Amino acid sequence: MKEKKTTTVDQQFTAEQQMNNEVLQLFTHITEIARAVVSNFETRKYRTSVLVNHLPNNNNNLVQEYLSYFFNVTLTRNRNSLLLIYIGFDSEAVSRFGSLIHNMFLREVMKLTGKDQTTVDVESCIRVDANTKDIRGFFYRRLAEGENDNVTFIIDEPVPASE
């Protein structure tokens, strides 16, 4: 007779906590990668990003959000309270600069989130939108609304491209 594998509530909770902790750390690393990929632009708006803390707004599943001219990285909670990261790209940024920046970003994200790089398998928690969107408009609206307790602007200094 096959032995049935059982999981206790404590084991399940611990596994979910580990996964959420890993995804939370990855969100921070992914936003750092997004900032690094565009850090060699001289134009300030391309090096500007917005970090939004959605936790005070309990009406939705959003946790945190990173916005820039190029990218939207969203940390959200599914109905089972597992954290997920959604990555989206701006349509105009792709048409203006091509896909190189986005490809560089995705390669770094995939390196960071692979099974062999994380303490728990989080590959299913990373979602990349295959279609580009108007992220830039939302980014500009957030900038126009200004900073507050839940919205922070980050303007990175330009980093010269290495030869």
Burial bucket for residue 3 (CB in 10 Å: 0-12, 13-18, 19+): exposed
pLDDT for 115 equals: 83
pLDDT for 107 equals: 94
91 within 8 A of 102, measured Cβ to Cβ: no
pLDDT for 7 equals: 56
For the chain, residues with pLDDT lower than 50 are none
pLDDT for 14 equals: 80
